Amino acid sequence: DVKVTQSSRYLVKRTGEKVFLECVQDMDHENMFWYRQDPGLGLRLIYFSYDVKMKEKGDIPEGYSVSREKKERFSLILESASTNQTSMYLCASSLFAKNIQYFGAGTRLSVL
């Protein structure tokens, strides 16, 4: 079974802090994605990566950056957390030629 692991289920941070959300997948997938999920807005794509060191902006990249130094790991970085970044963050991965995304359990981030 594909496993996508997000490092934290719950995280509480203060405004202005630098926040790292980590995601690791164990199936050698080329593609990895970061979404945020908010009530009434569904899943919105922040960034995705289709290869090591490659990244593409999604629909809402402002205030976020990403890092993909190794194929299995995709990190989401909030350079200076703000209260409007309080949300559920979901990581996903997929094979390059396949459409099915496999999701992690999510990180619920609260920024106070």
Chosen residue from 104, 107, 109, 111 binding another protein by CB under 8 A: 104
In angstroms, the CA 96 to CA 31 distance is 6
Cα separation of 93 and 74, whole Å? 9
How many CA atoms, within 13 angstroms, populate the side-chain half-sphere of residue 68?
A: 24
CA distance 37 to 39: 7
Asked whether position 108 contacts another protein by CB under 8 A, the answer is no
- Least separation in angstroms between residue 90's CB and another protein is 7
Rounded least distance, CB 39 to another protein, Å: 8
Q: Does 50 bind another protein (CB under 8 A)?
A: yes
**Which segment (18-26, 39-47, 63-71, 72-80) binds another protein by CB under 8 A?**
39-47
**Is 31 among the residues that bind another protein (CB under 8 A)?**
yes
In sequence order, what are the residues at sequence separation of 6 or more whose Cβ sits closer than 8 angstroms to the Cβ of residue 37? Answer: 43, 44, 87, 88, 89, 90, 106
Give the interface with another protein as residue ranges (CB under 8 A).
Answer: 4, 31, 33, 35, 40-45, 48, 50, 56, 58, 90, 94, 99-106
